[in-house]
Amino acid sequence: MLPLRVRENKIKNKIYVGSGDPLYSRISDYYQPWYLESRKSLYIVRSLNKHTMSNFNLHILEYSDSENVILCEQKWIDLIQPEYNVSPIAGSSKGYKHSPESIEKMKISATGRKHTDEVKDLMSKNRTGSNNSFYNKKHTAENI
């Protein structure tokens, strides 16, 4: 059984809902300097770095089997509407909006990036036939 947990900021009264397999591994990550350094893009990690671990509570909401853990997590996200979960969908980054500053940084980092011929060939093969999103579809007369 996997624990569904809430991490609560005692200073800001903000909440994060998440699941971890196994729980001890996820909790120990939050105490590792390398983890806190490498995951600075996560809202909850930035808050942990700013307010320190001693200003957070950990609550176990329920236990779930691995097949239903995402459903349970979604139930609690819908119910609590936690501020630290930037995505409204459990197990997904769908719905997350990058800031204009982040978009600009991504554009700058991608400028001048060149794929090797080998990578281009693999990308092409990966997008042919049934792997192509337009496979078995036709343009409408209006679009043509």
Q: Encode pLDDT of 104-116 as tens digits.
A: 988 888 888 888 8
What pLDDT was estimated at residue 93?
A: 65
Same domain, 75 and 8: yes
- Residue 33 banded pLDDT, cuts 50, 70, 90: confident
In this prediction, residue 94 carries a pLDDT of: 58
Return the CATH number at 56.
3.40.1440.10
Residues 53 and 121 in one domain: no
Q: How many helices (H) and strands (E) does the chain have?
A: 6, 3
Domain span holding position 109: 100-128
- Band (pLDDT 50/70/90 cuts) for residue 16 is very high
In a domain, 93, yes or no: no
pLDDT of 101: 92
The predicted structure's pLDDT at residue 95? 61
| Domain identity same for 6 and 76 | yes
Residue 141 counted as domain residue? no
Domain for residue 8, yes or no?
A: yes
Between 129 and 11, residue with greater pLDDT: 11
Residue 106 sits in the same domain as residue 64: no
Residue 56 and residue 17 in one domain: yes
The rounded percent of the chain whose pLDDT value lies above 70 is: 94
- Mean pLDDT in residue range 79-100: 82
- Give the span between the Cα atoms of 95 and 87, in whole angstroms: 6
- Statement to judge: residues 65 and 6 lie in one domain: yes
pLDDT-derived band at 31 (thresholds 50, 70, 90) equals confident
Q: Does 24 share its domain with 74?
A: yes
pTM of the predicted structure, to 2 decimals: 0.60
pLDDT of 141 > 80? The answer is: yes
Residues 6 or more apart whose Cβ sits within 8 Å of residue 4: 17, 18, 19, 60, 61, 62, 63, 64, 69, 72, 73, 76
Does residue 54 form part of some domain? Answer: yes
Residues 54, 108, single domain; the answer is no
